[in-house]
Each structure stands twice: as structure tokens, then as C-alpha cells.
Amino acid sequence: PNINATLPTTTELASLIQPEPEPPRRANATFVFLCKNDELGKVLTSIQQMEDRFNKKYQYPWVLLNDKPFTKQFKKRVRAMTDAPIEFGVIKREHWIQPDWIDEDRALKGRIRLLSQGIIYAASIPYRNMCRFNSGFFFHHELLQPYRYYWRVEPGVKFFCDIDYDPFVYMEEHDKVYGFTLSLHEWEPTIRTLWDAVKEFTSANPQYLSANNSMEYLSDDGGNTYNLCHFWSNFEIADMDFWRGEAYQRFFDFLESKGGFYYERWGDAPVHSIAAALFARKDQVHFFRDIGYRHEPFQHCPSGDDWVKGRCACDPRDSFDYTGASCIRNYERMFKHAGVSAT
């Protein structure tokens, strides 16, 4: 036998001393999951799908937050869903509880009014705490201080498709601040005076308005009235440094001073959406049309190549985007007028 045949060739030897390929770029990012102990089952299915469709390859950390301590059982079962780092945090009182200066008589009247109008969560104080926390405080939580980008996840949501790229890196490389999958109209009675507050803030602080903002998405009359369009914030991939920045901080403080989180029921979805639309450029707000997602009772199912690439477990004909209640048309109209396609 020819002994040389078993020796490595020069090219084989050369390949041994080649530098390792660069590791894929990562972003400074985490999942953020606000939830309650009694939501365990739905917390597990959300995390399992995110891990299966995306994070098993990327290993981004999870941060779970709660206004009460998570139980041992809860933590044990959630930990079993992922190999990624996971932390459990408690929210401090000041970030959660209705502030003392809120006039409780007025707040009570507000709750009764919404109840009489048949509005969902009309009389719930915890729901209002949650909306205010998500609007103004989650990104100040100590467990989130190390991170810039986050992906918000809720109990019982569905992720339909494989995500074979890193949306956080996408955000960073394309200078995006806010990413969404569903866009719809808010219940008007919950935000009756929000737009007045927004107008008051922006006329006193015009320096915060982006020159290339998305007012056209929010208003059909040049900013006079709000058309109720917002990005559905149960799904968000966004930049916490935007929320931590001066424009948003002053905006939130102003809204907080109006008391509308308690006198009405201002949602974090319209609050985030209005800020992203006004204080960022329109090309910094991104529609993740390739990410299949459901939060009851609506879903976004990708179509065409996105559906094939993602092996999406949803019917592309069952997608909220172009139904009557959707605001995606407003979002796309804005880019058509600007002469570019939606980002």
C-alpha cells in the first residue's frame, strides 16, 4: 500500500491553519416577558415557540418581570424551556402602583364611564398599572439596564415561522428603533384626551419632532385629530435607548402628569406608537412582515417567499393586514406618498 496516500495534502494542511470564521454578530438584546404566576401554562407555550422557531440557535437571554415574586414552581418550569440565560425580577412599587397624587374619585368615575361603554378592562386597576409600567418604567428595571434592544413576549402568543436571521442585529444595522407585526385601531374612550396631551406636548417641545416623522400614519388631517392607529405592543422589537432618551422621557413625564393612565385607560400601545411615529424617522419604524405572530384574536401570517422560508404554520389568507380594522394600509400609504416602499 502507498503510505503517502494517508498523509494530508498541502491544501489540507493549509486549511488547518486558516483563521476561524468570524462568529455571527450579536446585538445587545433580551426578551422581556411581563407575566403572572397563574399564567404559567401560557408563559411556557410562548417561550417554547420562541425557542423552537428562533432562540435555540441564538441564545438571547430572557428577563421575566412580575409585580409579585415568581414562585419556585413557576421558575423551575420556565427554566426547563430554555438553555439561554434567564432572570426573574420583581417590579418596585413606584413603578407599578397607582400614585398617591391621583384623584381616586376622578379615577373611579373614569372606570365607571368605561364600564358603561362596554370597554374591555374598563374597571381594572391592575391593567392600568400594567399599561403605565409598559409605557414608562420597564426599561428602567435593573435587570434590563445591561441591554439596549428587547423583544416583548406575552403569555399565550404564537410564533408561526422559523426566524433564520437575527432581528436584533437587523434593527441595529438598519438604525431601526421600533418593530411591529400588527397594527390596528384603539378603543376611542380609553384615550379620549390623549391626543390633546400629545398636541400640547409637541407644540411646547417642537424640537423633539422628527423632520421625517410618521404623522401621516397617526392622523388623516395633518395632526389635528388622531385616527386611533397604533402598533400592537404585545409584540415589540425595539430600542430601549429610544425610550430612555430625552424626548421620550419628557413625553412620558408629561403624559404621567395628566393622570390619563388612571383617569382614562391610556394603553402602552398608543403611547409607544405615537412616540415612535413622531420622534423617530419613518424609516426607523419597521414592519416585520416575515414574522408570523398571533395574539388573540388577531394574527399576522406572512405570504409568498416569507411563508416558504419560514415554514410558517399559518394560513396566509388568514392575516389581519388588509382587513377593515387594520392600520397597515395607513402605514404603507405613508411610504407611497414619500415615493419609497415600506421598510
Q: Which residues carry out catalysis?
A: 236
Rounded Cα gap, residues 127 and 104, in angstroms: 16
Q: Residues 216-235: x/- map of binding to Mn ion (CB under 5 A)?
A: ------------------x-
Shortest Å, Cβ 145 to ligand GDP: 20
With 0-12 / 13-18 / 19 or more C-beta atoms within 10 angstroms meaning exposed / middle / buried, residue 3 is exposed
Least separation in angstroms between CB 299 and ligand GDP:
14
- Closest residue to ligand GDP, based on beta-carbon distance: 126
Query: Closer CB to ligand GDP, residue 154 or residue 256?
Result: 154
Nearest to 217 by CA among 267, 175, 275, 261: 275
> At closest approach, how far in Å is the CB of 230 from ligand GDP?
12
- Closest approach of Cβ 130 to Mn ion, in Å? 10
* Nearer to ligand GDP among residue 156 and residue 316 (C-beta): 156
Q: How far is 205 from 189, CA to CA, in rounded Å?
A: 26
Closest distance of CB 339 from ligand GDP, Å: 36
Nearest to 169 by CA among 250, 57, 263: 57
Q: Tell me the number of residues near Mn ion by CB under 5 A.
A: 2
What residues have CB less than 8 Å from 108, skipping those under 6 apart? none
Among 154, 220, 283, 306, binds Mn ion (CB under 5 A): 154
| Residues numbered 13-52 forming contacts with ligand GDP, rule: CB under 6 A | 34-36, 39
User: Would you say 67 or 306 has its CB closer to ligand GDP?
Assistant: 67
Distance between CA 331 and CA 175 in Å, rounded? Answer: 18
Residue 269 one-letter amino acid:
A
- CB 43 within 8 Å of CB 155: yes
Query: Which residue, 155 or 310, has its beta carbon nearer to ligand GDP?
Result: 155
SS3 253: helix
Cβ-contact 178, 283 below 8 angstroms: no
**Interior/surface letters 184-196, b for 16+ CB within 10 angstroms, e for the rest:** bebbebbbbebbe
Q: Min. distance of Cβ 72 from ligand GDP in angstroms?
A: 17
Q: Which residues pair with 87 in a beta bridge?
A: 63
CA angle 54, 184, 341 (to 5 degrees): 70
Single out the residue of 30, 49, 55, 66 in contact with ligand GDP (rule: CB under 6 A): 66
- Three-state SS at 281: coil
Residues 251-310 that bind ligand GDP (CB under 6 A): none
Q: Which is nearer to ligand GDP, 39 or 162 (CB)?
A: 39
The one-letter amino acid code at 243 reads W
State yes or no: residue 39 binds Mn ion (CB under 5 A). Answer: no
Q: Please, which residue, 156 or 245, has the CB nearer to ligand GDP?
A: 156
Binding track, positions 125-154, relative to ligand GDP; x by CB under 6 A: -xx--x-----------------------x
Round to whole Å and give the CA distance between 126 and 114.
15
The answer to whether residues 45 and 75 touch, using CB atoms and an 8 Å cutoff, is no
Choose, by CB under 6 A, the member of 82, 135, 234, 273 that binds ligand GDP.
234
Contacts for 215 with CB less than 8 Å, ≥ 6 apart: 222, 223, 277, 278
For residues 154 and 220, which CB has a smaller minimum distance to Mn ion in the complex?
154
Give the binding range for Mn ion (CB under 5 A) out of 52-60, 130-138, 152-160, 194-202.
152-160
Q: Which residues of the shown chain bind Mn ion in the complex (CB under 5 A)?
A: 154, 234
Query: Using CB under 6 A as the criterion, which residues of the chain lie in contact with ligand GDP when the complex forms?
Result: 34-36, 39, 66-67, 126-127, 130, 154-155, 234
